[in-house]
Protein backbone atom coordinates (compact mmCIF):
# COMPACT_ATOMS: atom_id res chain seq x y z
CA UNK A 1 0.00 0.00 0.00
CA UNK A 2 1.20 3.50 -0.85
CA UNK A 3 0.84 5.76 2.19
CA UNK A 4 1.59 9.46 2.69
CA UNK A 5 2.24 10.78 6.19
CA UNK A 6 2.10 14.57 6.36
CA UNK A 7 3.89 15.86 9.45
CA UNK A 8 7.01 14.25 10.89
CA UNK A 9 6.75 15.05 14.57
CA UNK A 10 6.90 12.24 17.12
CA UNK A 11 3.50 10.84 16.17
CA UNK A 12 4.00 11.18 12.42
CA UNK A 13 7.40 9.52 12.64
CA UNK A 14 5.96 6.62 14.69
CA UNK A 15 3.11 6.12 12.22
CA UNK A 16 5.44 6.25 9.23
CA UNK A 17 7.95 3.84 10.77
CA UNK A 18 5.26 1.40 11.87
CA UNK A 19 3.76 1.26 8.38
CA UNK A 20 7.21 0.95 6.81
CA UNK A 21 8.03 -2.04 9.03
CA UNK A 22 4.78 -3.69 7.92
CA UNK A 23 6.00 -3.53 4.33
CA UNK A 24 4.11 -0.52 3.04
CA UNK A 25 5.59 2.12 0.75
CA UNK A 26 5.69 5.27 2.88
CA UNK A 27 6.35 8.88 1.92
CA UNK A 28 6.77 11.44 4.71
CA UNK A 29 6.20 15.13 4.03
CA UNK A 30 7.19 18.01 6.30
CA UNK A 31 8.00 21.69 5.96
CA UNK A 32 11.15 21.36 8.07
CA UNK A 33 14.00 19.06 7.06
CA UNK A 34 15.05 18.79 10.72
CA UNK A 35 11.77 16.99 11.43
CA UNK A 36 12.99 13.92 9.56
CA UNK A 37 15.48 13.31 12.39
CA UNK A 38 12.51 11.89 14.30
CA UNK A 39 12.55 8.90 11.95
CA UNK A 40 14.62 5.88 13.08
CA UNK A 41 17.94 5.36 11.22
CA UNK A 42 16.67 2.23 9.47
CA UNK A 43 13.62 3.93 7.94
CA UNK A 44 13.81 3.38 4.17
CA UNK A 45 10.74 5.26 3.02
CA UNK A 46 10.83 8.54 1.10
CA UNK A 47 11.07 11.97 2.71
CA UNK A 48 9.99 15.18 1.04
CA UNK A 49 10.47 18.70 2.36
CA UNK A 50 8.02 21.36 1.22
CA UNK A 51 4.83 23.29 1.87
CA UNK A 52 2.33 20.56 2.73
CA UNK A 53 -0.56 22.61 1.30
CA UNK A 54 1.08 23.02 -2.09
CA UNK A 55 -0.40 20.86 -4.82
CA UNK A 56 3.00 20.37 -6.43
CA UNK A 57 4.41 18.92 -3.21
CA UNK A 58 1.45 16.56 -2.84
CA UNK A 59 1.84 15.41 -6.44
CA UNK A 60 5.55 14.77 -5.93
CA UNK A 61 4.65 12.79 -2.82
CA UNK A 62 2.56 10.52 -5.05
CA UNK A 63 -0.90 11.45 -3.80
CA UNK A 64 -2.47 10.38 -7.11
CA UNK A 65 -1.33 6.81 -6.43
CA UNK A 66 -1.81 6.83 -2.65
CA UNK A 67 -4.22 4.43 -0.98
CA UNK A 68 -3.98 6.19 2.39
CA UNK A 69 -2.95 9.52 3.89
CA UNK A 70 -2.38 10.60 7.49
CA UNK A 71 -2.45 14.32 8.30
CA UNK A 72 -0.61 14.79 11.60
CA UNK A 73 0.78 18.32 11.43
CA UNK A 74 0.56 20.55 14.55
CA UNK A 75 -2.25 22.60 12.94
CA UNK A 76 -5.90 21.55 13.08
CA UNK A 77 -6.70 23.84 10.15
CA UNK A 78 -3.93 22.38 8.00
CA UNK A 79 -4.95 18.82 8.87
CA UNK A 80 -8.58 19.58 7.97
CA UNK A 81 -7.69 21.11 4.61
CA UNK A 82 -5.25 18.30 3.80
CA UNK A 83 -7.78 15.66 4.71
CA UNK A 84 -10.51 17.28 2.63
CA UNK A 85 -8.25 17.78 -0.41
CA UNK A 86 -6.94 14.21 -0.23
CA UNK A 87 -10.43 12.77 0.08
CA UNK A 88 -12.39 14.99 -2.35
CA UNK A 89 -9.85 16.19 -4.92
CA UNK A 90 -7.48 13.21 -5.15
CA UNK A 91 -9.96 10.51 -4.08
CA UNK A 92 -7.58 8.91 -1.58
CA UNK A 93 -9.61 5.95 -0.21
CA UNK A 94 -8.41 6.11 3.40
CA UNK A 95 -7.72 9.44 5.09
CA UNK A 96 -7.03 9.88 8.81
CA UNK A 97 -6.40 13.22 10.50
CA UNK A 98 -5.17 14.18 13.96
CA UNK A 99 -7.06 16.68 16.10
CA UNK A 100 -5.22 18.80 18.68
CA UNK A 101 -7.88 21.14 20.05
CA UNK A 102 -11.01 19.19 21.12
CA UNK A 103 -13.10 22.31 20.52
CA UNK A 104 -12.28 22.03 16.81
CA UNK A 105 -13.26 18.37 16.46
CA UNK A 106 -16.62 19.35 14.95
CA UNK A 107 -14.73 20.98 12.09
CA UNK A 108 -13.25 17.61 11.11
CA UNK A 109 -16.55 15.81 11.46
CA UNK A 110 -18.26 18.40 9.25
CA UNK A 111 -15.95 17.22 6.46
CA UNK A 112 -16.69 13.57 7.36
CA UNK A 113 -13.05 12.80 8.10
CA UNK A 114 -11.72 9.99 10.25
CA UNK A 115 -10.37 11.72 13.35
CA UNK A 116 -7.92 10.72 16.08
CA UNK A 117 -7.98 13.15 19.01
CA UNK A 118 -5.17 12.36 21.49
CA UNK A 119 -6.19 15.26 23.75
CA UNK A 120 -9.78 14.07 24.09
CA UNK A 121 -8.82 10.42 24.42
CA UNK A 122 -6.09 11.12 26.97
CA UNK A 123 -8.29 13.39 29.07
CA UNK A 124 -11.15 10.88 29.00
CA UNK A 125 -8.89 8.00 30.04
CA UNK A 126 -7.39 10.02 32.91
CA UNK A 127 -10.86 11.09 34.03
CA UNK A 128 -12.04 7.46 34.12
CA UNK A 129 -8.94 6.24 35.93
CA UNK A 130 -9.20 9.00 38.54
CA UNK A 131 -12.91 8.31 39.01
CA UNK A 132 -12.28 4.58 39.35
CA UNK A 133 -14.37 3.60 36.32
CA UNK A 134 -14.75 -0.15 35.91
CA UNK A 135 -14.74 0.13 32.09
CA UNK A 136 -12.12 2.35 30.46
CA UNK A 137 -12.66 3.75 26.97
CA UNK A 138 -9.49 3.09 24.98
CA UNK A 139 -10.58 3.95 21.46
CA UNK A 140 -13.44 6.00 20.01
CA UNK A 141 -15.81 4.45 17.52
CA UNK A 142 -17.27 5.87 14.33
CA UNK A 143 -19.36 8.29 16.40
CA UNK A 144 -18.93 10.17 19.68
CA UNK A 145 -21.42 7.81 21.33
CA UNK A 146 -19.57 4.56 20.58
CA UNK A 147 -16.18 3.16 21.43
CA UNK A 148 -13.95 0.32 22.50
CA UNK A 149 -13.77 -0.30 26.23
CA UNK A 150 -11.24 -2.18 28.32
CA UNK A 151 -11.80 -4.10 31.54
CA UNK A 152 -9.13 -5.75 33.70
CA UNK A 153 -10.28 -8.81 35.62
CA UNK A 154 -9.86 -8.28 39.40
CA UNK A 155 -8.56 -10.89 41.86
CA UNK A 156 -12.07 -11.54 43.12
CA UNK A 157 -13.06 -12.83 39.68
CA UNK A 158 -10.63 -15.76 39.60
CA UNK A 159 -12.44 -18.79 38.19
CA UNK A 160 -15.48 -16.90 36.91
CA UNK A 161 -16.56 -17.75 33.37
CA UNK A 162 -16.53 -15.45 30.37
CA UNK A 163 -20.15 -16.39 29.65
CA UNK A 164 -21.24 -14.26 32.60
CA UNK A 165 -20.31 -11.23 30.48
CA UNK A 166 -21.08 -12.55 27.02
CA UNK A 167 -24.80 -12.65 27.83
CA UNK A 168 -24.99 -8.85 28.17
CA UNK A 169 -27.04 -7.02 25.55
CA UNK A 170 -25.37 -3.68 26.27
CA UNK A 171 -22.08 -4.40 24.55
CA UNK A 172 -20.22 -6.84 22.32
CA UNK A 173 -17.18 -8.77 23.50
CA UNK A 174 -14.29 -8.27 21.08
CA UNK A 175 -11.34 -10.06 22.65
CA UNK A 176 -9.76 -11.48 25.78
CA UNK A 177 -6.00 -11.42 26.34
CA UNK A 178 -3.83 -12.96 29.03
CA UNK A 179 -0.25 -11.74 29.36
CA UNK A 180 -0.54 -10.31 25.85
CA UNK A 181 -1.81 -13.57 24.34
CA UNK A 182 -5.20 -13.69 22.63
CA UNK A 183 -7.62 -16.23 24.16
CA UNK A 184 -10.62 -17.89 22.47
CA UNK A 185 -14.02 -16.35 23.24
CA UNK A 186 -15.52 -19.41 24.93
CA UNK A 187 -18.50 -18.90 27.30
CA UNK A 188 -17.11 -21.52 29.69
CA UNK A 189 -13.59 -20.08 29.58
CA UNK A 190 -12.34 -19.44 33.14
CA UNK A 191 -10.98 -15.98 33.85
CA UNK A 192 -7.79 -15.13 35.70
CA UNK A 193 -6.84 -11.91 37.53
CA UNK A 194 -5.15 -9.53 35.09
CA UNK A 195 -6.98 -10.83 32.01
CA UNK A 196 -7.95 -7.91 29.78
CA UNK A 197 -11.37 -7.86 28.14
CA UNK A 198 -12.22 -5.55 25.24
CA UNK A 199 -15.83 -4.69 24.51
CA UNK A 200 -17.59 -2.50 21.97
CA UNK A 201 -20.39 -0.39 23.44
CA UNK A 202 -22.15 2.95 23.45
CA UNK A 203 -21.54 5.33 26.36
CA UNK A 204 -24.87 4.36 27.92
CA UNK A 205 -24.18 0.67 27.31
CA UNK A 206 -20.74 1.03 28.92
CA UNK A 207 -22.30 2.73 31.95
CA UNK A 208 -24.78 -0.12 32.40
CA UNK A 209 -22.06 -2.73 31.84
CA UNK A 210 -19.89 -1.03 34.45
CA UNK A 211 -22.71 -1.26 36.98
CA UNK A 212 -23.25 -4.92 36.12
CA UNK A 213 -19.54 -5.66 36.55
CA UNK A 214 -19.61 -3.90 39.91
CA UNK A 215 -22.49 -6.11 41.06
CA UNK A 216 -20.79 -9.28 39.81
CA UNK A 217 -17.67 -8.40 41.74
CA UNK A 218 -19.70 -7.90 44.89
CA UNK A 219 -21.46 -11.30 44.56
The predicted structure's pLDDT at residue 158: 84
| Beta strands at 25-30 and 46-49: parallel, antiparallel or unpaired | parallel
Specify the 3-state DSSP secondary structure of 50: coil
User: Where in the chain do CATH 3.40.50.720 domains reside?
Assistant: 2-116
Homologous superfamily in CATH for domain 2-116: NAD(P)-binding Rossmann-like Domain (3.40.50.720)
| Beta strands at 172-178 and 196-202: parallel, antiparallel or unpaired | antiparallel
CA-CA-CA-CA torsion sign (73, 74, 78, 80): positive
10-residue averages of pLDDT along the chain (219 residues): 95 95 96 95 95 92 95 91 93 90 70 74 67 66 66 82 72 84 86 86 78 67
Would the pTM of this model clear 0.75, i.e. be above it? no
Q: Which of 75, 114, 112 is nearest to 96 (CA)?
A: 114
CATH for 120-218 (3.30.70.1450, 3.30.70.1020, 3.60.15.10, 1.10.3720.10): 3.30.70.1450
User: Where in the chain do CATH 3.30.70.1450 domains reside?
Assistant: 120-218
The predicted structure's pLDDT at residue 168: 63
The predicted structure's pLDDT at residue 87: 92
Per the DSSP assignment, residues forming a β-bridge with 140 are 147
Measured CA distances, 49 to 11, 98, 203 (Å) = 17, 20, 42
Instruction: Answer whether 194's CB lies under 8 Å from 168's CB.
Output: no
For the chain, the 3-state helix, strand and coil shares in percent, each to the nearest 5, are 40, 25, 35
Amino acid sequence: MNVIVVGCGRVGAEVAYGLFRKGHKVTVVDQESAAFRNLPPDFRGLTLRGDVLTQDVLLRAGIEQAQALAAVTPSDSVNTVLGHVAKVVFKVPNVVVRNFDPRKRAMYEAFQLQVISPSSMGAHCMEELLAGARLRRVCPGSSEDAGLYEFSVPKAWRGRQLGELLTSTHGTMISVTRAGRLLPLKPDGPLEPGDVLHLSATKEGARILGEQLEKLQED
